[in-house]
A = this chain, B = another copy of it.
Amino acid sequence: MAIRTVVWGENVHETKNRIVAGVYPQGMHQAIADALNQDPAIQATTATLQEPEHGLPQERLDATDVLLWWGHAAHKEVSDEVVERVAEAVWSGMGLLVLHSGHFSKIFKRLMGAPCNLTWREAGERERLWVTSRNHPIAAGLPDHFELEQEEMYGEPFGVPEPLETVFVSWFQGGEVFRSGLTYKRGAGSVFYFRPGHETYPTYHDANVQLVLKNAVKWAYNPGPRQADPTEAPNIPVETALEPIEERGPKLHHAGEEGYR
């Protein structure tokens, strides 16, 4: 069965800005989903901010293997309830790819526990991405480096936790560098941040970028069953301890009691 993938798009600039609408007539989310669907192992649909519950009701997340997230102008309009729902889905095993300006999305900041800030410049300068982890599944089939002739610059220091692995580092024409591909795990879910994707440039039409996204969907896909309750903290009664022990000393809790949260 194909990997059930949802591309979430903010879908704001596509409808308000002529340049963005020209580059992505069906919206960035649709362009990304179309690219992913070229791969028979992936079945991608879309969801947007404007839909009820932003297109991400619980049933849909339950049936989603990997979620991609692109947002920029409207991070604040995403409801906290949906953000928590997505976070729990990740913890239970759903994969998550966060794209470009999504570094400041509520869901990415929620999962990183860090500022996720950076420096930036919108000047259409050249970006060159270098692979820093040879044969990483996310870099499969890529050359050692590839270029995007026009991109927005993001510069270090990038305020994120040290990743499990740094997969890409970007060079920018104006003199900055950026760790552009970073892997994380939160609960049972794999998370990948990928830098390129400014809305006024045709980045998501680029073959190498599309390959990274296809690879990343496969990398983030978790074939096992979801964790039923990813935040539970079960009490293990003395009677069921794996090794025989006798209860000793003073107690705060009664047997079978729920812990404090």
Contacts and interface: CB of A to CB of B under 8 A. Distances in A.
Interface of A: 13, 17, 19-20, 72-76, 87, 91, 93, 101, 104, 110-115, 117-125, 128, 130-135, 140-141, 144-145, 147, 150, 153, 155-159, 161-162, 164-166, 169-177, 179, 184-189, 198-201, 222-224, 227, 230-238, 241-243, 245-253, 259-261
B135 A235 contact: no
A81 to B, nearest CB: 15
A224 B135 contact: yes
Number of copies: 4
A174 B245 contact: yes
B236 A121 contact: yes
B123 A247 contact: yes
Given A111-B113, A145-B242, A201-B250, 16 more contacts: A17-B252, A110-B113, A114-B187, A118-B233, A119-B235, A121-B238, A128-B175, A130-B155, A132-B157, A147-B242, A153-B236, A169-B177, A171-B172, A200-B250, A200-B252, A201-B249
